[in-house]
């Protein structure tokens, strides 16, 4: 599954990134596409194995919260 990690290697998102795309309307009515939630600087995308934890959350295999799963 797609995983996003910050520059320190911490998981910040599991699954697709929600860019929250929208449009900006100029005074003349022209619409310009904008991304309201870009990836933070230094974020890297990986494909890693993910499991469902005891609490129903998604976790990367090896995360301590997956103990007993």
In this structure, what token pair is assigned to residue 43?
């974020």
Percentage, residues of the chain above pLDDT 70: 96
Distance CA 13, CA 2 (A): 8
Domain count within the chain: 1
- Kindly report, residue by residue over 12-32, the tens digit of the pLDDT: 999 999 999 998 888 888 999
Q: Which domain holds residue 54?
A: 2-66
pTM value is: 0.78
pLDDT value of residue 25? 85
Average pLDDT, whole number, for the chain?
Answer: 91
Query: How many Cβ atoms are within 10 Å of 40's Cβ, its own excluded?
Result: 10
pLDDT value of residue 60? 95
Q: E-assigned strands of 1-69?
A: 2-5, 11-14, 21-25, 31-35, 44-47, 50-52, 58-60
């Amino acid at each position: 599954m797609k995983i996003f990690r910050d520059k320190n290697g911490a998981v910040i998102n599991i699954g697709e990134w929600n860019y929250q795309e929208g449009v900006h309307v100029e005074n003349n009515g022209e619409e310009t596409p904008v991304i309201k939630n870009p990836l933070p600087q230094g974020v890297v995308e990986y494909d890693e194995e993910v499991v469902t934890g005891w609490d129903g959350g998604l976790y990367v295999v090896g995360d301590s919260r997956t103990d007993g799963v």
